[in-house]
Amino acid sequence: MAAYIFRRLLLVVPTLWAIITINFFIIQVAPGGPVEQAIAQMQGLDSGLMSRFTGGSSSTDSALVDESSSSGYKGSRGLDPEVVEEIKKQFGFDKPLHERYFDMLKNYITFDFGDSLFKGGSVIDLIIERLPVSISLGLWSTLIIYLISIPLGILKAIHHGSRFDIWSSAMVIIGYAIPGFLFAIILIIVFASGNYFSWFPLRGLVSSNFDQLNWYQQIIDYFWHLALPIFAMVIGGFATLSMLTKNSFLDEINKQYVVTARAKGLDERDILYKHVFRNAMLIIIAGFPAAFISIFFTGSMLIEVMFSLEGIGLLGFESTIQRDYPVVFSSLYIMTLLGLILSIISDLTYTWVDPRIDFEAR
């Protein structure tokens, strides 16, 4: 098993390189880069901002350029060429494309993600600052979905075709059909807006006086702020996993080894949890890394916006809109790395659930 893990870890390197390389060159050719956005922003502001790039001079009428100027940037009409070059230098676009690419690879090997182009401060500080929100939303919502969906799917398989199975299926499908952000709006209106109740806060991960609370009050305050956003995220997340669990157990229950075990007089509970459970759970475990990464990085973006929670999902969206390349590539790099590591952990969990699986033999 150690040799298998070592090979999988070695594959992380070329996989990361391929993903970063492909996305780097795709984004570089996309229109509306950071230089163009900075130029557009400057043209919408007064000359006070422009004077930062022109050494304090607000007179540019003697050195105006048009779209055919050497700057190469559409929309730079009316700007001093020196201003455009200064902007390019500020964002690192005064270097050739290949040089920027190799600089990025060299820095990412040492986990040096540089500074954000628009938000100020280092990228790693921004990510660390946003991590508590994303970890809280992703971790708790994933755990709740799994802790409810797996027992629910098992019960549905045991009582297949019963009233419980039919009504529970109807409920989870209705929950799945309604978007999470719509549930969030309903929850905010009913429980947080003051129109009906004001039981829960509308913004932030903790209260402003969090540091003044004792430890159990801090725990209560933390989950008090998370109650509505997590409920909005998990309400539609039960359908797929619960139905997958049900179908997986039904498939195993109808196999010959279960019929043989029942014929030998084994207890039904022992058959279910000692034999069927181990085999049926393999497909559930296989989907855990993808589910966690999906909720952790992307699934919570709308929830973060609606509940004023500044997490990685919102950071990635804002950085993509602003073409903040260091933040975009760093988020992609970290997300890919976590996904690859979780995939290895998933394989290890396979062997823990079913020791008969031997990846080393493959």
Show the domains of the chain with their CATH numbers: 35-90 (no CATH), 124-353 (1.10.3720.10)
Which pLDDT belongs to residue 71?
45
Which pLDDT belongs to residue 110?
85
Which of 343, 352, 344, 361 lies closest to 281, judged by CA?
A: 352
Q: CA angle at residue 130 from 126 to 132, to 5 degrees?
A: 140
Two tokens at 191? 């429980």
- SS3 readout for the chain: CHHHHHHHHHHHHHHHHHHHHHHHHHHHHCCCCHHHHHHHHHHCCCHHHHHHHCCCCCCCCCCCCCCCCCCCCCCCCCCCHHHHHHHHHHCCCCCCHHHHHHHHHHHHHCCCCCECCCCCCEHHHHHHHHHHHHHHHHHHHHHHHHHHHHHHHHHHHHCCCCHHHHHHHHHHHHHHHCCHHHHHHHHHHHHCCCCCCCCCCCCCCCCCCHHHCCHHHHHHHHHHHHHHHHHHHHCCCHHHHHHHHHHHHHHHHCCHHHHHHHHCCCCHHHHHHHHHHHHHHHHHHHCHHHHHHHHHHHHCHHHHHHCCCCCHHHHHHHHHHHCCHHHHHHHHHHHHHHHHHHHHHHHHHHHHHCCCCCCCCC
Which pLDDT belongs to residue 167?
92
Which pLDDT belongs to residue 45?
47
CA 127, distance to chain mean position in Å, is 12
What is the number of other CB atoms lying within 10 angstroms of the CB of residue 153? Answer: 25
Residue by residue, pLDDT tens for the chain (362 residues) are 677 778 888 888 898 899 888 988 887 777 666 667 666 666 664 333 334 433 444 333 333 334 334 445 544 445 566 666 666 666 667 778 888 888 888 888 888 888 887 777 888 888 888 888 888 888 888 888 888 888 898 888 888 889 998 998 888 888 888 887 888 888 888 888 777 888 888 888 888 888 888 888 889 989 998 899 888 888 877 887 888 888 888 888 888 888 888 888 888 787 887 778 877 777 777 666 666 666 665 557 788 888 888 888 788 788 887 778 888 888 888 888 887 887 787 777 777 766 666 666 65
What is the number of other CB atoms lying within 10 angstroms of the CB of residue 254? Answer: 9
Amino acid at 231: F
Q: How far is CA 199 from CA 76, 85, 133, 195, 208, in A?
A: 52, 54, 21, 11, 17
- 71/33 Cα distance (integer angstroms): 14
Q: CA angle at residue 175 from 138 to 150, to 5 degrees?
A: 60
Which of 214, 17, 216, 2 lies closest to 101, judged by CA?
A: 17
What is the number of other CB atoms lying within 10 angstroms of the CB of residue 342? Answer: 18
Which of 148, 157, 151 lies closest to 255, judged by CA?
A: 157
Please report where in the chains the tokens 């995939």 appear, as a residue: 343
Instruction: Tell me phi and psi for residue 112, to 5 degrees.
Output: -100, 100
Which of 285, 263, 286, 266 lies closest to 275, judged by CA?
A: 266
Instruction: Taking each helix axis as running N to C, give the angle between helix 34-43 and helix 81-90, from 0 to 180 degrees, rounded to the nearest 10.
Output: 130
Amino acid at 116: S
